Amino acid sequence: MSKHTISDAARVVGKHRSTIQKHIREGKLSKLIDNDGNSYIETSELLRVYKNLVNPVGEGSRVADEIHHQTTGGSSLKIAELEARLEIEKLKREKAEALLHKTTESEAGWKEIADRLSLLLTDQRKKPDSKPATSQFKKFMRKISS
């Protein structure tokens, strides 16, 4: 990544030096500090905040090539990578939906089997009226008590 002093950054984006400093103070623009204690701004940060560069370094220079790569080639590679990841996620979703459909069918089958077993395990015969049994019980109790 190319490093720019505040003055260089102002010249590259076509802003005044004080505007760059103001954006740094407000947190709109990030500056970094190198090992020697010098502050700098990366080209990518300038592109993020200002979208385009008014005065890029001359054609064919390393900085100009890097800026071109960031604004065109780098984004194309990123788009291709994201499209590939999207395709993978679509395939995963399709597999999950197929598995869900299969599981739903299986669940319906098991519910049907459970209902049949429930019917087999319960007594399906008609129960006799309990009144005659009650009257018989009362007769029996009268005979015993008499």
Please give the sequence-ordered ranges of beta strands (E in DSSP) within the chain, or none if there are none: 3-4, 32-33, 39-42
C-alpha 45: how far from chain center: 26
**Structure tokens, 92:** 């995963």
Please give the CATH architecture assigned to the domain spanning 1-55: Orthogonal Bundle (1.10)
The tens-digit pLDDT sequence of the chain (146 residues) is 578 888 888 888 888 999 999 999 999 999 988 888 888 898 888 888 887 777 655 444 455 555 555 555 556 777 777 877 888 888 889 999 999 999 999 999 999 999 888 888 887 666 665 555 677 777 777 888 76
CA–CA dist 24, 32 (Å, integer): 10
Nearest to 2 by CA among 77, 67, 74: 67
Whole-model pTM?
A: 0.39
Residue with tokens 């006799």: 128
